[in-house]
Amino acid sequence: MQNAIIFDMDGTLFKTHLILEGALEQTFDKLRAELLWEGETPLEKYKEIMGVPLAVVWETLCPHHSLVIRERSNEWFQQFLVLQINAGQGDLYEGVFDTLQQLSIDLPIYIASNGQPAYLQAIVTHYDLNRWVKKTYSIEQIASRDKSSLVQKIIEENNVAGGFVIGDRLSDFQAAKENGLQSIGVRFDFAQQQELETADFVVEQFTSILPIIKGKMPSIV
């Protein structure tokens, strides 16, 4: 058994907002071109629900569309996201490289994300995160699409005894609590104050994660 650190991806490690608007706009441009959407792109609505499973995203953004159209929209969206990642239009939050490098010396690091596998792999590959991250898990691997169950899967597969879940949304903090881990909330772009209040710790900068973990696990880093 071992301690481990589990990171969320969007809004925690990766600045999703840098590619979100462009990819969403392109997706709704295609919907408009096929006469399947009228009006503006619902970007603000997406920002409000950022972090929920993708099926919920498209149910929310396109409540009057068929499942087939929602799935097609998500396919387009994912393609546009990956294209922007590969083009270098995204970025990681300041301090991610150094913090992951230092943590990985003594602790295994995993990613648990609501993102789809191809999208996550594009980020991991573009920034070479496998230098420090043992494995990246997608919510697509869990039939229930539940973040707590995804974290449970990581714990069981890797003999994790304790550690932290680090993220920006309520699902991350609940996943930590329900699996006997501590949580660190990052007050970044998609974070909401009411949700952050349920985290064990809250940071304003990514580098502030390190002293919290070291304080709770003084034998590391």
Tens-digit pLDDT profile for residues 61-103: 999 999 999 999 999 999 999 999 999 999 999 999 999 999 9
Q: Residue 46 pLDDT > 90, yes or no?
A: no
Q: What is the pTM of this model?
A: 0.92
Alpha carbon of residue 198 to chain centroid = 18
Task: Mention every residue, 6+ apart, whose C-beta is less than 8 A from residue 134.
Answer: 108, 109, 110, 158
Distance CA 170, CA 191 (A): 9
Phi, psi of 109 (to 5 degrees): -115, 135
pLDDT at 1 over 90: no
What phi and psi, each to the nearest 5 degrees, are found at residue 51? 110, -15
Confidence of residue 220 (pLDDT cuts 50, 70, 90): low
pLDDT, position 216: 76
What per-residue confidence (pLDDT) applies to 53?
76
pLDDT greater than 60 at residue 221: no
User: For residues 220 and 70, what is the distance between their CA atoms, to the nearest angstrom?
Assistant: 46
Cα distances from 202 to residues 9, 45, 101, 177, 192, in angstroms, run 17, 25, 21, 15, 11
Query: Scanning the structure block, which residue is given the tokens 């869990």?
Result: 142
> Among 104, 155, 93, 164, which Cα is nearest to 131's?
104
Order of strands, sheet of 160-167, starting from the edge strand that comes earlier in the sequence: 133-138, 109-113, 2-7, 160-167, 182-186, 201-203
Q: How confident is the model at residue 218 (pLDDT cuts 50, 70, 90)?
A: low
Looking at the predicted structure, is the pLDDT value of residue 138 above 60? yes
Q: Distance from first CA to last CA of the chain, Å, rounded?
A: 19
C-alpha to C-alpha distance for 218 and 205, rounded to whole angstroms: 21
The whole-number pLDDT of residue 118 equals: 96
* Per-residue confidence band for 54, with pLDDT thresholds at 50, 70 and 90: confident
